[in-house]
Amino acid sequence: MTKEFAVPPVVFPSGGNPSAGGGNLQQRRVPTAPFQPPRSSGSSIPFMSFDIGSATVSSGGLYGGPIGGGSVPGGANFEDEEPLLDELGIHPDQIWKKTKSILNPFRVNPAVHKDSDLSGPIFLYMSLCLFQLLAGKIQFGVILGWIVVSSIFLYVVFNMLAGRNGNLDLHTCTSVVGYCMLPVVILSAASLFVPQGGFVRFGIAAIFVLWATRVCTGLMVALADGGDEHRGLIAYACFLIYTLFSLLVIF
């Protein structure tokens, strides 16, 4: 036994329905593309094309020049600017002169060290740390901490001895202590080729400590006032500082 189903009449959008004679026909809708306004029967929006290659740049436009109509300079002139090392406060010629003046402990030129800087001492500190690293000793933090404490210690001792006449600042003291570290750096480099232990190693270390002590004492007395009468005590403080670093190199 077959079962019948009720099927609704089919409506054709483009034509008339045979079953609906002469009635209102449903108007066909034209699908529109996304992001495109629907087309009306009376007017349509033309497609606007942008040709980048045909765009002309005017001299007073947005991209053509300054708004005021002035001329654009030819370009940045980098020749008039200072070198990068001078902007950072690093002067290789000055560092070399100060380092060379330390090499002769009997003829030290204090006039070269009047302009104190920290770029040369930092270079010597890093050299000392590097030679210690080659010797199998990782002492970057120890050396940096001892340098800070030593500079503050010598600064306090000198100003206490000089009293009101003392005009030594901490920046100059740190610079002098750093540059006078050159003998200790040479000792650290030479200790790589000297056998461990023995009186030879201690004898070489004593020579370099006396060298650094003499140079540092002479510069301290010459650069600051009120240190001539306390030269022995200043030399003792410098001797303690560089002995400490030499012991760090030896052991």
- For 72-135, the DSSP string reads PPS---GGGSPPHHHHTT--HHHHHHHHHHHS-TTS--GGGGSS--SHHHHHHHHHHHHHHHHT
| pLDDT computed for residue 219 by the predictor | 93
Q: CB-side exposure of 178: number of CA atoms within 13 Å? A: 24
pLDDT greater than 90 at residue 236: yes
Supply 13's token pair: 């959008």
Q: Give the whole-angstrom CA distance, residue 153 versus residue 35.
A: 78
Q: Note whether residue 173 is domain-resident.
A: yes
| pLDDT computed for residue 227 by the predictor | 75
| pLDDT computed for residue 142 by the predictor | 93
Q: Note whether residue 122 is domain-resident.
A: yes
pLDDT tens, 22-74?
Answer: 444 455 555 555 555 555 555 555 545 545 454 444 444 444 454 444 444 54
Determine the structural domain holding residue 203 and report its residue range. Answer: 94-250
Q: Note whether residue 40 is domain-resident.
A: no
| pLDDT computed for residue 116 by the predictor | 87
Q: What's the mean pLDDT in 66-87?
A: 60
Given its phi and psi angles, is residue 112 left (phi above 0), alpha (psi -120 to 50 degrees) or beta? alpha
Q: Give the whole-angstrom CA distance, residue 207 versus residue 215.
A: 13
| pLDDT computed for residue 63 by the predictor | 47
pLDDT greater than 50 at residue 250: yes
Question: Taking CA 91 as the corner, what is the angle to CA 142 and CA 246, rounded to the nearest 5 degrees?
Answer: 25
First to last CA, the chain: 113
Q: Note whether residue 37 is domain-resident.
A: no
pLDDT tens, 122-147?
Answer: 999 999 999 999 999 999 999 999 99
Number of other CB atoms surrounding residue 50 within 10 Å = 6
pLDDT greater than 90 at residue 195: no
pTM flag (> 0.85): no
Q: Note whether residue 114 is domain-resident.
A: yes
Q: What's the mean pLDDT in 204-222?
A: 94
Q: Note whether residue 145 is domain-resident.
A: yes
User: What average pLDDT is seen over the chain?
Assistant: 78
Would you say the C-alpha torsion 229, 233, 237, 242 has a positive or negative sign? positive
Number of other CB atoms surrounding residue 81 within 10 Å = 10
Q: Note whether residue 85 is domain-resident.
A: no
Count of the separate structural domains present in the chain: 1
Confidence of residue 102 (pLDDT cuts 50, 70, 90): very high
Confidence of residue 181 (pLDDT cuts 50, 70, 90): very high
Q: Note whether residue 150 is domain-resident.
A: yes
Which of 247, 241, 238, 243 lies closest to 215 in space, CA to CA?
238
| pLDDT computed for residue 60 by the predictor | 46
Supply 99's token pair: 């380092």
